[in-house]
Structure 1
């Protein structure tokens, strides 16, 4: 396959001069894998680190090994009755067999990975909605309302299965490939449907952007996260690239960070993908190895604080490359370029995708000119067919005339560079993990003294955002009691609120809906005031709006300490250059 030049923003037009349909792409992820197994049979495909602690004792699979393992697992699934329209639940930490099982499920049916950290009732609901015929899980005794095949049993069955031939009919481009759950806007995450053609097209686009065939990638995000499969899983199959998988826990393994630079040096890692909190931690790890191979560190899934960008650059000498996308867009819709800095943007729209800002009101949608802020919408072959409802994808309320409503506010300039300006949707993003505020609100509203609850994200140095909740009360109740109540009832540990703010009333819109932007401004002020007070400064803090985006204003003379402190957050801020009394 001949790859187009894709090194900078000026290459976009030349790439799109050739229609995607003329690129000769494989019809399915299985066909992509089959071609890779044939073309690159003896090349290393996966190096599997047992953990951060045991990183020097890995296992390596060639592309031939990977194809054989996928065939074995696919044939086990077929023997167990999995057919093209059946989903296979995957509920386990990362491993070689979990990655192979994901590809195998897509080869004979539909892969449905689930976050093991969700509450048990959410796991059961997701599996029920997906219609999973069976679940592959690390725990053989798991009760999820579906037959469970443990990883150990899968391994023994696969060892005895046919490593050469796939027993099922190969999938077509229009067949469903994956069911990936999102944060959603209700109590249970929604399931986004991916097609085979959508995933292959996205994988090709990402492969075109990741450089030479000998590039080595690090994979450390969990496989229930769409990024893990679509950025570090499928694209390397196009070029026969080597991927190092950083153990079952990946970035969640504390033992990974002290040896991270040595892993980069050992395997000559060239590209990686992570959320801002990962880079924030790594920027504090002393550099004890040659990391000159690392040229493409990709960051996304949450706002990037200016301080993290700066500290990473100071530590490594390499700029972070921002990206933007969402599960409903099959993963990525904008990307930056190494060596091409566009501060304030999350990159240029990707080939074959249209991205624009629109105004949505009672008259419908109106396209906005370049640079003007509105709701971002996306059109292209990457747009999903809808959320899974009653066994079918339903685009209602999310895709209109082929345009995907991202729920994000932003602008697009004349070159296609995207600038984000906040979220129209209310999801709380903690370290790249989506938290539905409704789960927190429902838990607090169950308290007999609570009359109203509104959960939002509070800016946080480490996690980007952490959940806090504003409540109104029927009867006086200490916030400590409400925090304990929430901790015992919120279904996910990451969603337990850090603070409960008792207020006289929750702001409402003209039609009686909660107006959370006002609460976000309040929590911005609280965070900045706390930091200013900790620095011992006598300064007033206010929040102003700039084109509907909140900006923290500190009425104080500038100082290096103040700048370094507030720059560690992702929010915008400025100082007036004078004290409150002047």
Structure 2
């Protein structure tokens, strides 16, 4: 049996002249960088051919909003690629009448639904900048996002229209454009008098959709034109607006092909071919928000590229997800690791249900997750990726046997991207295998934090290296291992303890469904180690566990200083933000409060109800 090709050898093959992933060098911001040579120059040039090729296929299964109705009870619509393009072209034609075009900022705010995707496509048809608002933010945070980006137009769903309605006059006074809802608006809300619906504005206009599809007056649209604004998660402080160009945002489309190609070559197989209209259609469950880079740039763009059907969840709900997996015959699942873990543990999912592909990223998975996925769905392709909002998703990725053999790794960097590990204090590069701060450089790194040069210069140095805020190391083959967020390292008595090490030790206990390590402030040691866990459902019941039992079990897997001194057991799923990530700051305050109460001599039950 021939030896397995190295990652470097695989990359040399997949990026060689004539290959889809061929690279070339470009000068960007005065620096020479590697870019994908065959990457479409704009979202428009990528979107149009795919929508035309798959015109008759069902593209979206989406809940239809009704006033006062829970989204999980809403009826669903099934919309073809051709119908989405028709609606988007009409909206884009109206935008052009309003004087909007290349470089105009257009905010999009809403749940996962047809209207969101139509709005995004319409923006890109005219070369506008899609400002993707986090729909689950509080009103003040939404107003902050609008005020720092000053969009020329705001497109929202009815729920966001109701939230923003009273503030529309104030927004327009500071330069924000008109607010339009893609949903029909309830007449009972007086605050909506300043907001019109898309249906209303289109009916009153003469629309030239042919001109939109032909694309005149787009000579200024180039790979270096501004394309998208996403927002940092805002779990600490106010969100920052992350601006990227067409090339930066679209690079993820080709970067997503790297891991499956490497995995095939290292398994002695041929590189997977590009999707084509004659292929059977796959059905994807989109369980994460479209306003996040993973939802939009990874899941939505890949579905457009492959002609897949997307089953949209308005908001993550495991019961609704399981129901849709069955009724819509979903074949691809993923998102953040907690989504996959929840589906694995869902008692309502038939044991016979299988998937073609399981993909996750956006947060460190447990080392047990890859094994559990392959045990449950042995024929499913397994892909894991690492990236940030500021890198437009992919930095590293891993698939197949490499991931199963290295379940704690997020893979080598994609060929267009450079990574290095540095000392957090000196910023000197560290040797292979040594843990430090991860720095990233490449054509997919954001242009800037919009209207925030100070934060931009803090995040990206003069040589183009982005400070990720993540701590990890690389092995001799170039595989990256993320250990923690720099701010989440627990420093106990001067010793750095990685949260991921504690969490993986907890996950080794089959009773544990979710685990989060917490640093507890301490006047003597600096910090002590705590944790909070939820229990998984096994054979339709929750196993018994006590705090003492869990501490004893985990102590055999950790050094003495890393063993949690308090473990709270949480009833129900741990609280998460809209992207599916654990809201660690909320859990930390709860664990700290419990610890302080114990130190005062009060007894605290170790089973706590989810009340956040």
State TM-score, norm by structure 1.
0.69
Offset of residue 311 of structure 1: 4.2
Matched, 1:164 2:168: no
**Alpha-carbon spacing, 1:412–1:218, altered in 2? closer, same or farther (3 Å):** same
Pick the aligned partner of 1:86 from 104, 108, 132: 104
**Alpha-carbon spacing, 1:373–1:102, altered in 2? closer, same or farther (3 Å):** same
**Distance in structure 2 (CA, Å) of the matches to 1:58 and 1:526:** 38
- 5 Å-filtered alignment, 1:108-257, equals 108=126, 109-139=128-158, 140-141=161-162, 142-143=164-165, 144=167, 145=171, 146=176, 147-152=178-183, 153-158=197-202, 161-166=207-212, 169-170=217-218, 171-183=221-233, 187-207=237-257, 213=275, 214=279, 216=282, 217-238=284-305, 240-249=306-315, 252-257=316-321
Matched, 1:31 2:45: yes
Say if 2:513 and 2:533, in contact at 8 Å, map to a contact too.
no
Say if 2:7 and 2:477, in contact at 8 Å, map to a contact too.
no
**Alpha-carbon spacing, 1:371–1:229, altered in 2? closer, same or farther (3 Å):** same
Say if 1:349 and 1:355, in contact at 8 Å, map to a contact too.
yes
**Distance in structure 1 (CA, Å) of the matches to 2:319 and 2:532:** 36
Per-residue displacement from partner, 1:465-514 (whole Å, max 9, x unpaired)? 49x896xxxxxxxxxxxxxxxxxxxxxxxxxxxxxxxx77497xxxxxxx
Partner residue of 2:123? 105
Say if 1:257 and 1:285, in contact at 8 Å, map to a contact too.
no
Partner residue of 2:93? 75
SS of the residue corresponding to residue 396 of structure 1 reads helix
Offset of residue 396 of structure 1: 0.4
Q: Which runs of 5+ in 1 are unaligned?
A: 1-5, 429-455, 471-502, 508-517, 555-569, 572-582
How many residues end up aligned between the 2 structures?
465
**Distance in structure 2 (CA, Å) of the matches to 1:73 and 1:182:** 28
- 5 Å-filtered alignment, 1:539-550, equals none
- 5 Å-filtered alignment, 1:84-483, equals 84-108=102-126, 109-139=128-158, 140-141=161-162, 142-143=164-165, 144=167, 145=171, 146=176, 147-152=178-183, 153-158=197-202, 161-166=207-212, 169-170=217-218, 171-183=221-233, 187-207=237-257, 213=275, 214=279, 216=282, 217-238=284-305, 240-249=306-315, 252-263=316-327, 266-267=329-330, 269=331, 271-286=332-347, 287-288=349-350, 291-292=353-354, 294-317=355-378, 318=380, 320-340=382-402, 341=404, 342-362=406-426, 365-389=427-451, 395-400=456-461, 401-426=463-488, 465=516
What is the root-mean-square deviation in Å for CA atoms of aligned residues?
4.0
SS of the residue corresponding to residue 209 of structure 2 reads coil
Per-residue displacement from partner, 1:31-69 (whole Å, max 9, x unpaired)? 11122234443344334365996799541312x333322
Offset of residue 289 of structure 1: 7.0
**Distance in structure 1 (CA, Å) of the matches to 2:532 and 2:56:** 58
**Alpha-carbon spacing, 1:506–1:383, altered in 2? closer, same or farther (3 Å):** farther
**Alpha-carbon spacing, 1:261–1:218, altered in 2? closer, same or farther (3 Å):** closer
Say if 1:193 and 1:385, in contact at 8 Å, map to a contact too.
yes
Offset of residue 393 of structure 1: 9.8
Q: Which runs of 5+ in 2 are unaligned?
A: 17-21, 25-34, 65-69, 184-196, 261-271, 491-498, 507-511, 536-543, 566-581, 585-612
**Alpha-carbon spacing, 1:504–1:199, altered in 2? closer, same or farther (3 Å):** closer
Offset of residue 115 of structure 1: 1.6
